[in-house]
Amino acid sequence: MTLNQLRAFLMVATLGTFSAAAVELQMTQPSISELIKRMEETYGLKLFARGSRRLVLTPAGEGLLPYARQAVDAAAGADRALRSLSSLSGGVATFGLLRNANYYFLSELLEKFNERYPLVRLRIIGLNSVEVAEAVSAGELEAGLVVLPIDSAGLDVTPLMRDEVLYVSASSSRASAPVTISDLAAANLILYDAHYGWRDPTRRQLAERAQLEGCTLSAQIEVEHVETALSIVAGGAGDTIVSRAVTTSKGFPEGLFTTTFADPLYDTIAMVQRTGSVLSPATREIARLARRMLLERMP
Amino acid sequence: MTLNQLRAFLMVATLGTFSAAAVELQMTQPSISELIKRMEETYGLKLFARGSRRLVLTPAGEGLLPYARQAVDAAAGADRALRSLSSLSGGVATFGLLRNANYYFLSELLEKFNERYPLVRLRIIGLNSVEVAEAVSAGELEAGLVVLPIDSAGLDVTPLMRDEVLYVSASSSRASAPVTISDLAAANLILYDAHYGWRDPTRRQLAERAQLEGCTLSAQIEVEHVETALSIVAGGAGDTIVSRAVTTSKGFPEGLFTTTFADPLYDTIAMVQRTGSVLSPATREIARLARRMLLERMP
DNA sequence: TCAGCGTCATAGGGTTATCCTATGGTTCGC
DNA sequence: GCGAACCATAGGATAACCCTATGACGCTGA
């Protein structure tokens, strides 16, 4: 005897069909069927008479009805009580996200959170991982998602997933084989995140590699937005680098070629929060959602 | 939010420790721990303050308590209701009986059943065979006794006994010899069961005979109760038909004459239940008693 | 009469909850 | 301190749960 079983029973008794109850409970008809069946098997009696017509309560079902109603109502009350007591019933959840979040799951995350906690307002901060990391470190944000590497002083960092960084060009020849750092140094690079320049984590990784090779990277053109950079690349003025998630998104221009790095390069996405801090319920919840949705996307 | 979580919460709140609650609920302490933890995580708030001493309810836990109690109680009631229906130690036995049951054995049946199973409450449904047959067919009733013929779609029908239908009149001359259908067509008929009219089984038998003879039957006066009809007949306004059991009952008015039909007419009493259905113990028992008592009365 | 529709039942599979045992960590009383 | 009592955590087996896909059946309209 579980609450789900009682809920299903009640809804079926109210609406008269399994299918309608399934829609109402946001489940599928076979699930309803199974819940009812299990309850019937548990007690060895039928709750509904499955006639050709519509479902009719058996005497046993009739006897169960008032108790089911009471239990489900009480559980709904319990849920309401807890929900209103938790701070998820108000206030503002503040969370930092890396710039690329659009390409991963941002809108879905916000929709899901808002659906579950409609009373909580959301403030999503973050033009770039650098900014997010600094804000979290300073305590302005409780938590956020960033791309590594970052300056991790005063932060708890939990890597969650990684996404490969690709080289993007309008010329098939320049993207015909994995590129090396020296290829990169020789290329016309169209880079974005002008505001943060070489403090950007992905760029930092590249700069470190270049340093080891004894060469220098510099941007031919720097803009703020990835989309702008990609448009320029599509025009043939130069090449750029983006993570794979960007290349598979809808907005990715036609006619661009991609290739990997000879020594594969990855953006590692991590959750950061202030060392030793306790997250507010709302923030914890959105962090939990974000982590789960990211992990679901792991290859 | 599951019932098990609420049960665990309630028991912990009552007993003050996880371990004690585990013993009481026949589970292990880690299981209780996990159930509580999951509920706390779901809502992002603590339900118990884990002090060094003993557990104390947080305000949130305090708020949850009444709802938890109500939900758990209701579920226990549901369980009891269903469990008792699959045994003879409680619950309600529902059974359908034809209208005339009073004249056969109704009170005796109920007394006997109640004496043997005092914990089972009885709900006897049935103003007329038509109604009982439809309710059983739809699954609202598990079984019942009816007079044939009925529409037997979806029903298992077991004839048990028959009782002759007699013609009743205040005039000795009109009841001096067996009556024919044409006699009937010519008579002032005082009929009962107005609500069901010619769907009533006995009336259907008569109507079919009349059809074969090419004549039509119609009621001069229609009332609901047999007793009313008999009073009117005793006043001489017309004649009626009843089964023999009625004529031998205590309430049968003085001064009325009865005769048989020229072509004898019988009410056949049958047990009906839904095709392929399994009766609950209580219903099976009352059906068994009813059948036995009927058969004992067989001529 | 037969195809189309809506209904519930069943099969198969992936995910999660639940529950266990075993063990670690903390707090209290002696 | 040290044992006792208690809660938390880890790891693993089982069952519940929920899904998609498909089958069976009755109803309905051409």
Comparing CB atoms, the residue among B67, B74, B123 nearest residue A67 is B74
Report the b/e string of B173-209 with b at 16+ CB within 10 A: ebbeeebebebbbebbbbbbbeebeebbbbbbbbbeb
- pLDDT over threshold 80, residue A250: no
Can you tell me whether residue A265 is helix, strand or coil? coil
User: A86 CB near a chain B CB, below 8 Å?
Assistant: yes
Contact A58, A49 (CB under 8 A): yes
Q: Which of A18-32, A188-202, B221-235, B279-293 has the highest mean pLDDT?
A: A18-32
- CA–CA dist A46, B142 (Å, integer): 10
Q: What is the pLDDT of residue A259?
A: 92
B105 contacts: CB under 8 Å, gap ≥ 6: B290, B293, B294, B297
Residue type, B138: A
Confidence of residue B260 (pLDDT cuts 50, 70, 90): very high
Q: Average pLDDT, stretch B158-167?
A: 88
In whole angstroms, what separates CA B141 from the centre of its chain? 6
Beta bridge partners of B291: none
Domains of chain B with bracketed CATH: 3-85 (1.10.10.10), 161-267 (3.40.190.10)
Share of chain A above pLDDT 90, in %: 2
Which of B147 and B281 is assigned the larger pLDDT?
Answer: B147
Q: What's the 3-state SS for chain B?
A: CCHHHHHHHHHHHHHCCHHHHHHHCCCCHHHHHHHHHHHHHHHCCCCEEECCCCEEECHHHHHHHHHHHHHHHHHHHHHHHHHHHCCCCCCEEEEECCCCHHHHCHHHHHHHHHHHCCCCEEEEECCCHHHHHHHHHHCCCCEEEEEECCCCCCEEEEEEEEEEEEEEECCCCCCCCCECHHHHHHCCEEECCCCCHHHCHHHHHHHHHHHHHCCCCCEEEECCCHHHHHHHHHCCCCEEEEEHHHHCCCCCCCCCEEECECCCCEEEEEEEEECCCCCCHHHHHHHHHHHHHHHHCCC
Q: Which of A134-148, B137-151, B173-187 has the highest mean pLDDT?
A: B173-187
- Which residues of chain B lie closer than 8 angstroms to A70, CB-CB? 70, 74, 77
Q: Average pLDDT, stretch B28-56?
A: 80
Contact A106, A59 (CB under 8 A): no
Contact A77, A222 (CB under 8 A): no
Chain C bases closer than 7 angstroms to a protein Cβ? 6-12, 17-23, 26-28
Residue with tokens 């998104």: A249
- pLDDT over threshold 90, residue B166: yes
CA nearest neighbour of B130 among B203, B58, B187: B203
In whole angstroms, what separates CA A285 from the centre of its chain? 12
Q: Average pLDDT, stretch A73-81?
A: 83
Q: What is the pLDDT of residue B262?
A: 92
CA atoms within 13 A on the CB side of B214: 0
- pLDDT over threshold 90, residue B264: yes
Q: What is the pLDDT of residue A299?
A: 47
Comparing CB atoms, the residue among A6, A51, A284 nearest residue B139 is A51
Cβ pair A4:B1 closer than 8 A: no
Q: What is the pLDDT of residue B84?
A: 73
Residue type, B9: F
Contact A260, A239 (CB under 8 A): no
User: B6 CB near a chain A CB, below 8 Å?
Assistant: yes
- CA–CA dist A28, B269 (Å, integer): 45
Residue with tokens 């505001």: A195
Q: Average pLDDT, stretch B84-112?
A: 72
Which of A120 and B82 is assigned the larger pLDDT?
Answer: B82
- pLDDT over threshold 60, residue A278: no
Confidence of residue B90 (pLDDT cuts 50, 70, 90): low
User: A75 CB near a chain B CB, below 8 Å?
Assistant: yes
Q: What is the pLDDT of residue B168?
A: 93
Confidence of residue A290 (pLDDT cuts 50, 70, 90): confident
Cβ pair A44:B86 closer than 8 A: yes
Q: Average pLDDT, stretch A89-98?
A: 64
- pLDDT over threshold 90, residue B186: no
Residue type, A249: S
CA distance between the termini of chain A: 38
Q: Average pLDDT, stretch B180-196?
A: 85
Residue with tokens 């609406």: A15
Asked if this assembly's ipTM is beyond 0.85, the reply is no
A52 contacts: CB under 8 Å, gap ≥ 6: none
Confidence of residue A121 (pLDDT cuts 50, 70, 90): low
Give the relative orientation of helices A106-116 and A281-296 as an angle to the nearest 10 degrees. 130
Cβ pair A6:B75 closer than 8 A: yes
Confidence of residue B259 (pLDDT cuts 50, 70, 90): very high
Contact B193, B199 (CB under 8 A): no
Contact A99, A144 (CB under 8 A): no
B44 contacts: CB under 8 Å, gap ≥ 6: A86, A87, A88, A281, A282, A284, A285
CA nearest neighbour of A79 among B46, B2, B55: B2
Average pLDDT over chain B, rounded to whole?
A: 81
In whole angstroms, C27 C1' to B9 CA is 23
Q: What is the pLDDT of residue B256?
A: 92
- pLDDT over threshold 60, residue B41: yes
Confidence of residue B89 (pLDDT cuts 50, 70, 90): low
Which of A245 and B178 is assigned the larger pLDDT?
Answer: B178
If one counts every other C-beta atom within 10 angstroms of the C-beta of residue B217, the result is 18
- pLDDT over threshold 60, residue A277: no
Confidence of residue B88 (pLDDT cuts 50, 70, 90): low
CA atoms within 13 A on the CB side of B231: 8
Lowest mean pLDDT among A176-185, A277-286, B105-114: A277-286
Q: What is the pLDDT of residue A103?
A: 65
Q: Which two tokens stand for residue B135?
A: 């309710």
Lowest mean pLDDT among A67-71, A229-233, B163-167, B289-293: A229-233
CA atoms within 13 A on the CB side of B275: 7
Q: What is the pLDDT of residue A101?
A: 66
Q: Average pLDDT, stretch B272-282?
A: 74
CA nearest neighbour of A181 among A261, A266, A285: A261
A&B contacts, CB < 8 Å? 129
CA distance between the termini of chain B: 63
User: B238 CB near a chain A CB, below 8 Å?
Assistant: no
- pLDDT over threshold 80, residue B121: no
- CA–CA dist A263, A208 (Å, integer): 13
User: A30 CB near a chain B CB, below 8 Å?
Assistant: no
Share of chain A above pLDDT 70, in %: 77
Average pLDDT over chain A, rounded to whole?
A: 78
pLDDT in tens, B64-79: 888 888 888 888 888 8
DSSP per-residue string spanning A212-246 = HHT----EEEE-S-HHHHHHHHHTTS-BEEEEHHH
Closest residue in B to A54 (Cα–Cα)? B138
Q: What is the pLDDT of residue A85?
A: 64
Q: Which two tokens stand for residue A230?
A: 């990609």
- pLDDT over threshold 60, residue B299: no
Percent helix / strand / coil, chain A, rounded to 5: 45, 20, 30
Contact A279, A273 (CB under 8 A): yes
